Amino acid sequence: MSSHSQFHEISSHYLTCHAVMETYSMGLMRNIPNAHPVYKLLRPHVRYTMAINRKARESLINATGILARTFSVGADGELEVFKRCGTAYSVHWSNIKHNTEERGVDDASKLPHYYYRDDGYRVWDAIESYVTEIIDMFYVNDASVSEDEELQSFANDVHFNGFPAYGGSLGHEFPSSIATKAELVQICTLVMFTGSAQHAAVNFGQYTYYSFVPNAPFVLHKPPPTRKGKLKFKDLMDSLPDKEETLATNVLVSLLSGYSPDEIYLGAYPPEQFVEERAKQAVKELDVKLKQIYEMIKKRNEGLDVPYIYMSPKNIPNSITI
Ligand SMILES: [Fe+2]
């Protein structure tokens, strides 16, 4: 479980949520003007992301940062995990349907009670139908997408500069141009889902999961045993994090699992986001769907010993702020 904690924090959390959303944020801000419908659609989902990432780079994930000092992999290992996971990353891995299919865990009849998938699919569908409505409103046909120079510039920038293919990259699969409305809907849904629900799923359970350090310690001081029955209690204690490391872990995961006091939750947008009546109606419909999902999850969780709360819409911020 210690190796799992390294992979989770470096890859699943920082790399494929924080860093990926910064890429979209940069692409959006330097290619698409703020009156553009795609800018208006996506801007709330990159709020504060660059700022929190800068703070993370200053204190958490650099050669002398907290991760380098408190994780088993150390500074060099941290960099190596970033390199390997970055090279292997495809944006489709952030699509929960694609991801669960690839991992063979998409079938609820074969794997019931997998609430990350069940709740995540519902949230994905709600976001997708909202995005479809907005894109339908502003783009009359596929040509209006392919001829949108600002949009194409965004795709090109993210493709070549945001996810540069270096060191044997397997292909991040973000397109260099967007040809159809359907493709645009998928990209916008992916960006919104990654910055909201996917990040919430990997972020807000950190205290629950890591604060009891033997559950998944960030550091182990001895290699795992190779033979059964030989380990003494002292060996276990010598391997687990010491008091100082335990304190550092708890402070870190407590901080990272908290919501910002001015958090804006999924589907809440400023009134000026869209002025068009049809778009306002689409926002209302999204709100209704998210409330239905919230009620369904709340009811389901009442019957569970361990409720799954991380994909409940009221626990999903619009963007990565922590
Ligand atoms: Fe986070």
C-beta neighbour count of 233 within 10 angstroms: 7
Locate 207 and state its tokens: 């205290």
The phi, psi pair for 183, rounded to 5°, reads -65, -40
CA of 92 to the centre of ligand 1 (A): 20
Structure tokens at 54: 């800068």
| Angstrom distance (rounded) from CA 94 to CA 295 | 25
CB 209 within 8 A of CB 215: yes
The alpha carbon of 21 and the centre of ligand 1 are apart by a number of angstroms equal to 11
Q: How far is the CA of 114 from the centre of ligand 1 (A)?
A: 22
pLDDT tens string, the chain, 322 residues long: the values are 788 999 999 999 999 999 999 999 999 999 999 999 999 999 999 999 999 999 999 998 888 888 888 899 999 999 999 999 988 899 999 999 999 999 999 999 999 999 999 999 999 999 999 999 999 999 999 999 999 999 999 999 999 999 876 665 657 889 999 999 999 999 999 999 999 999 999 999 999 999 999 999 999 999 888 888 888 999 999 999 999 999 999 999 999 999 988 999 999 998 888 999 999 999 999 999 999 999 999 999 999 999 999 999 999 999 999 9
Domains and CATH numbers, the chain: 2-204+259-315 (1.20.245.10)
Could you tell me the distance, in angstroms and rounded to a whole number, from the CA of residue 256 to the centre of ligand 1? 6
Tell me the torsion sign for CA atoms 204, 28, 24, 121: positive
* Cβ 2 vs Cβ 216: under 8 Å: yes
Distances from the Cα of 57 to the Cα of 39, 63, 172, 232, 273, angstroms: 26, 10, 23, 39, 31
- Which amino acid is it at 243? K
Q: How far is the CA of 165 from the centre of ligand 1 (A)?
A: 25
Q: How far is the centre of ligand 1, averaged over its atoms, from the C-alpha of 226 (Å)?
A: 35
Q: How far is the CA of 126 from the centre of ligand 1 (A)?
A: 23
CB 52 within 8 A of CB 322: yes
Q: Are 60 and 179 in contact (CB under 8 A)?
A: no
* Cα 312 to ligand 1 centre (Å): 17
Separation between Cα atoms, residue 67 and residue 218, nearest integer Å: 9
Scanning the structure block, which residue is given the tokens 């349907």?
A: 97
Question: How far does residue 3's CA lie from ligand 1's centre (Å)?
Answer: 19
Within 10 angstroms of residue 122's Cβ, the number of other Cβ atoms is 19
Q: How far is the CA of 202 from the centre of ligand 1 (A)?
A: 8
